Amino acid sequence: MIDYINLFSKYSFFDIRYNELLKNHTSFKIGGPADIFIIPNSLDELIYAIKIARVEKIPYFIMGNGTNLLVKDGGIRGVVIKINGNIDKLTVEGEKIKAQAGALLANTSKFALENNLTGMEFASGIPGTVGGAVMMNAGAYNGEIKDIVSKVTVLTKDNEIVTYTNEEMNFGYRKSRVIEEELVVLEVEFSLKKGKYEDIFNRMQDLNEKRALKQPLELPSAGSTFKRPEGHFAGQLIDTAGLRGLRYKDAQVSQKHCGFIVNLGDATYKDISTLIKIVQKTVKDVHGVDLELEIKVVGEDL
Active site residues: 174, 224, 294
Cβ atoms of residues 122 and 140 within 8 Å: yes
Cβ atoms of residues 100 and 43 within 8 Å: yes
